[in-house]
Amino acid sequence: MKTAVRIVLTAAVLAAAVPVFAQSAQQPLTLDEAVAVTLAENPAMKAAAYEEQAAVQERRAAIGLRMPQISATGAYAYLGKDIGFDFNNLKGPVGDFAGKLMPYIPDPIKPTLVGLLGDLNSTDLFLKLQDRSLGFVGGEVTVPIWLGGKINAANRAARINERTAVEQGLQTRNALISELAERYFGLSLATQVVQVREQVAAGMRRHLDDAVALEKNGMIAQSERLYVEFKLAEAERQLADARLQKQTIASALSNTLGRENDWQPMTALFILDRLEELAYYQDLAEERNPLLNQVALKRRLAEEGVRVQRAEFLPQVAAIGAGSFYNYQVAGFVPRWAVGVGVNIKLFDGLNREYKYSAAKQTVRRVGELENKAGKDISVLVEKLYNQLLNYRNQMTSIDASLAFAEEYLRMKNAAFLEGISSSTDLIDAELNLAGVRTERLQAAYNYDRLLAQLLEAAGVSDEFTAYARRSDARQILFDRK
């Protein structure tokens, strides 16, 4: 018997310790810490950083277009034959001519002439200018002088692309902060919903105990006790669903943070008592929204494209120099260096330049229209988000009044039920009504914070979201406190 008692006590101690260990395993995380971790660890931010670095290198590469182009070359060739003048074909005509002159030549000279003709026939009369085997090592320098403005346009385009990469990084950063706000406060909401459901389930268990006692005393009917049992089962099912939802959101938050852990949000849901005027956020969006800035940069890039196509109509001038450092069996009369200036003027290319120039101008007009539309769309989006924020803030006033009524109503129904003058149905309805109001209040605060993050993203100032959460007029919203 004592052994059984010890086993039961040990099991009770372990059961009580499990929640403590589970809570100690949780990693507390403030909103500021969550933003810092996300911006440092999220793969999307790392990819954006690599994109910016690539744009910087492309801009540096464009500077090289102004520099001389220096190249080293080497070659070896084995020709089919030596290069030179072949006089062997003249041996026959010379011999014939000498034969015709022979009768007129004095006899003492004839032997000498015959000897010379014999030496001529036996001699190879090929005058070699270049050996068939040759090679060389040299270099070439090309210096662009004027390319019709292409180099300047290419450098400006590279700087625009670098700035575009920066704006894309800012857009990624702002979007991640909005995603973080949605999931961070989503986990805070889910955690408190679990607590609400736990309170409902605990309240149902107490009501069931009271109903069983009242049924034994004949104060309520069996049907009322069964109704409480039914509502208890329903509350436990809703509690299980809330816990699963919390796990899902916790996994999503870890994905945004770029770190796996059992996170515990420490920054509470909040509502601002004061918000700047709508025009303030619209002005910010017009100036700092990364998407609008990217569209403006695309228009500037299209304008550079027009300049590039216009350069095709202009002459291109470059200075050229070449020299040979080492020669193998190269004839001496071949020059060892050369310098010059080259000019290229394209006269006709089938109207290709004209059509491309016209297409580039149409692209500028198209991007200009898109820029105007994007500006109006962002302004409307800011207004929509701003009005929704005001709506949820106004809802909170009525929800707070409903919460005070629901708490008092539950207290009254519970006292009446214990006195036997109220049914279990009324008590359960009061309990569920309080839980519903608490959940609605949390949901409204969550929607407010989510929309606030989206508003700041549209305005291009997502980095200020944590400062909004720390403002003196930021009112914390908790399920068990007004």
pLDDT in tens, 45-63: 999 999 999 999 999 999 9
Is residue 16 included in any domain, yes or no?
no
For 447-476, the pLDDT digits (tens) are 999 999 999 999 999 999 999 999 999 999
112 and 197 part of one domain:
no
Q: Rg of the Cα trace of the chain? A: 45
What's the rounded mean pLDDT across residues 122-126?
Answer: 72
Output the pLDDT for position 16: 38
- Please state, in angstroms and as integers, the Cα–Cα distance from residue 284 to each residue in 88, 369, 381, 400, following that order: 92, 21, 13, 33
pLDDT grade, residue 267 (50/70/90)? very high
Separation of first and last alpha carbons in the chain: 51
What's the rounded mean pLDDT across residues 193-221?
Answer: 87
50-83 burial: b if 16+ Cβ within 10 Å, else e: ebbeebeeebeebeeeeeeeeeeeeeeeeeeeee
Output the pLDDT for position 386: 97
What's the rounded mean pLDDT across residues 277-289?
Answer: 96
DSSP string for 388-421: HHHHHHHHHHHHHHHHHHHHHHHHHHHHHHHHTS
pLDDT grade, residue 122 (50/70/90)? low
Comparing 106 with 335, which gets the higher pLDDT? Answer: 335
Output the pLDDT for position 3: 37
209 and 278 part of one domain:
yes
Output the pLDDT for position 100: 67
Is residue 154 included in any domain, yes or no?
no
Is residue 233 included in any domain, yes or no?
yes
Contact in structure between 302 and 367 (CB atoms under 8 Å) = yes
110 and 234 part of one domain:
no
Amino acid 339 reads: V
118 and 244 part of one domain:
no
For 408-428, the pLDDT digits (tens) are 998 898 888 777 777 778 888
Is residue 74 included in any domain, yes or no?
no
For 134-155, the pLDDT digits (tens) are 898 999 999 999 888 889 999 9
174 and 248 part of one domain:
yes
pLDDT grade, residue 18 (50/70/90)? very low
208 and 101 part of one domain:
no
DSSP string for 108-128: TTHHHHHHHHHHHHHS--EEE
Contact in structure between 88 and 124 (CB atoms under 8 Å) = yes
114 and 245 part of one domain:
no
Output the pLDDT for position 24: 44
pLDDT grade, residue 117 (50/70/90)? low
For 370-408, the pLDDT digits (tens) are 999 999 999 999 999 999 999 999 999 899 999 999 989
Output the pLDDT for position 9: 34
- The total number of structural domains in the chain stands at 2
Distance CA 155, CA 111 (A): 83
Is residue 228 included in any domain, yes or no?
yes
Closest by CA position to 52, among listed 156, 166, 138, 173: 166
Query: What CATH code is carried by the domain that includes residue 61?
Result: 1.20.1600.10
120 and 235 part of one domain:
no
- Does residue 246 have a pLDDT over 60? yes
What is the distance, to the nearest Å, from the Cα of residue 98 to the centroid of all Cα atoms in its chain? 93
Q: Could you tell me the residue range of the domain that residue 41 belongs to?
A: 29-66+167-312+349-477
116 and 171 part of one domain:
no
Is residue 18 included in any domain, yes or no?
no
Is residue 15 included in any domain, yes or no?
no
Which range among 107-121, 278-292, 449-463 shows the weakest confidence by mean pLDDT? 107-121
Find where tokens 């000279």 sit.
Answer: 109
109 and 187 part of one domain:
no
242 and 294 part of one domain:
yes
Contact in structure between 212 and 185 (CB atoms under 8 Å) = no
Is residue 77 included in any domain, yes or no?
no
Which range among 210-224, 254-268, 375-389 shows the weakest confidence by mean pLDDT? 210-224
246 and 361 part of one domain:
yes
The mean of the pLDDT values for the chain is 87
